[in-house]
């Protein structure tokens, strides 16, 4: 029996990501400019082995912008299909809340992960974020009080 592989070892592995959606007092969206890709991003990142998505969002926010926050409600879960070299991923988007001026003044970015940050209107965010992430943000902002299940940035179609 020692040579037997646990039945779960045959299951496919999925990547997971967890981000936080923050706005300022007038409703502008916090976006980050990463040094490793052309599009902007939300605070957050990859979920590590044996880490919950909520704790991953909390850790990534602390690493990227230096704020310790308790992620709020789950605003969206988005399954993103495999594309080219990118494996499929399940992306969780949590409500980071509304940042007061004092919170914004405490933001300290990690230069290895963030070149800069700004607050953007939804129209500006559409130009800065990749299309899939913008779709999640847009859906989450319109239903900030309820979770939204998405596949590739859109509600699944009925069969």
- Of 14-18, 31-35, 133-137, 151-155, the poorest mean pLDDT is in 151-155
Q: Is the pLDDT of residue 55 over 80?
A: yes
pLDDT in tens, 17-44: 999 999 999 999 999 999 999 999 999 9
Q: How far apart are CA 133 and CA 152, in angstroms?
A: 9
Domain encompassing residue 53: 14-151
Number of domains within the chain = 1
**Of 38 and 4, the one with more pLDDT:** 38
Given pLDDT bands bounded at 50, 70 and 90, which one contains residue 121?
very high
Is residue 9 domain-resident?
A: no
Stretch 60-81: mean pLDDT: 94
Amino acid 83: pLDDT: 85
7 within some domain? no
SS (H, E, C) the chain: CCCCCCHHHHCCCCEEEEEEEEEECCCCEEEEECCCCCCEECCEEECCCCCCHHHHHHHHHHHHHCCCCCCCCEEEEEEECCECCECCEEEEEEEEEEECHHHHHCCCCCCCCCCEEEEECHHHHHHHECHHHHHHHHHHHHCCCCCEEEECCECCCCC
The answer to whether residue 2 is domain-embedded is no
Which range has highest mean pLDDT (6-20, 21-35, 67-81)?
A: 21-35
The answer to whether residue 27 is domain-embedded is yes
Residue 87 within a domain? yes
* Mean pLDDT in residue range 37-52: 95
pLDDT value for 95: 94
Predicted model pTM: 0.86
- Rounded Cα distance, 143 and 70, in Å: 20
Label residue 147 by pLDDT band (50, 70, 90): low
Q: Supply the CATH number for residue 23's domain.
A: 3.90.79.10
Considering the domain boundaries, does residue 59 fall inside one? yes
- The band of 134, judged by pLDDT with boundaries at 50, 70 and 90, is very high
């Amino acid at each position: 029996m020692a040579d037997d592989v646990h039945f779960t070892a045959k299951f496919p592995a999925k990547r997971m990501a967890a981000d936080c959606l923050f706005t300022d007092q007038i409703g502008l969206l916090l976006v980050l400019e990463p040094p490793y890709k052309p599009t902007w991003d939300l605070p957050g990142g990859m979920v590590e082995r044996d880490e919950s998505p909520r704790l991953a969002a909390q850790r990534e926010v602390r690493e990227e912008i230096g704020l310790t926050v308790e992620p709020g409600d789950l605003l969206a879960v988005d399954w993103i299909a495999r594309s080219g070299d990118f494996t499929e991923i399940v992306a969780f988007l949590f409500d980071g809340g509304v940042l007061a001026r004092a919170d914004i003044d405490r933001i300290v970015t990690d230069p290895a992960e963030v070149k800069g940050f700004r607050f953007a209107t939804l129209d500006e965010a559409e130009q800065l974020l990749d299309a899939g992430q913008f779709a999640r943000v847009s859906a989450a902002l319109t239903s900030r009080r309820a979770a939204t299940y998405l596949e590739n940035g859109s509600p699944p179609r009925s069969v």
